Amino acid sequence: MKLVLGSGSPRRRELLAQLGVTADDIRTPDIDEDPMPGELPRPYCVRLAREKVQAIPASDTEIVLSADTTVALGRRILGKPRDAGEAADFLTRLSGRRHRVITAVAVRRGDRVWERDVVTQVQMKNLSNEELNAYLASGDWQGKAGGYGIQGPAGAFIPWINGSFTSVVGLPLAETANLLLAAGYPLYKPAD
């Protein structure tokens, strides 16, 4: 049974490694990630994970795992910032506020798809201009939903979460393990 990771995210590879799993192949999906007009954050995130897993070509003997992480401030979707200016805007909006981080996971084997989404509440401290500018200069915001990564320097900005830390990083491990097991992946069995 081969596992295909439908994501180019190094964080998702690292999280899978915590389960003792190394993907046999990495195939990044090519889909439109723009939200539909009026689309709410959670349905948006679930839709993207499903579209990503369906977009990956795979044989019937391969299990495909895809995920999407979205930061939601109320009904607003904060995706990956296009540039430092948008990252600054996102972080300024999040400063001193609670928000939600949603990660949806989809696992496909043949025509069957298993899905799960996890919502974690996150509090960001009030950011000073010095903190904001230093973080923007670090470049760590690039490629990260909401313009920050909790596993990096921005972890110092997060005094409180309620939910799954690994989901905020990009792949909720407990839920992902259960999806892989449901699809028949030999997660806890020794290799032949």
Q: Is 68 a catalytic residue?
A: yes
Q: What is the longest distance spanned by two Cα atoms in the chain?
A: 55
CA-to-CA separations, 179 to 17, 82, 115, in angstroms, rounded: 16, 32, 7
DSSP assignment letter at 37: T
Round to the nearest angstrom and report the end-to-end CA distance of the chain: 11
Structure tokens at 188: 């806890």
Angle among Cα 186, 187, 191 to the nearest 5 degrees reads 65
Structure tokens at 153: 């320097």
From 68, 89, 117, 192, active-site residue: 68
Just list the catalytic residues: 68
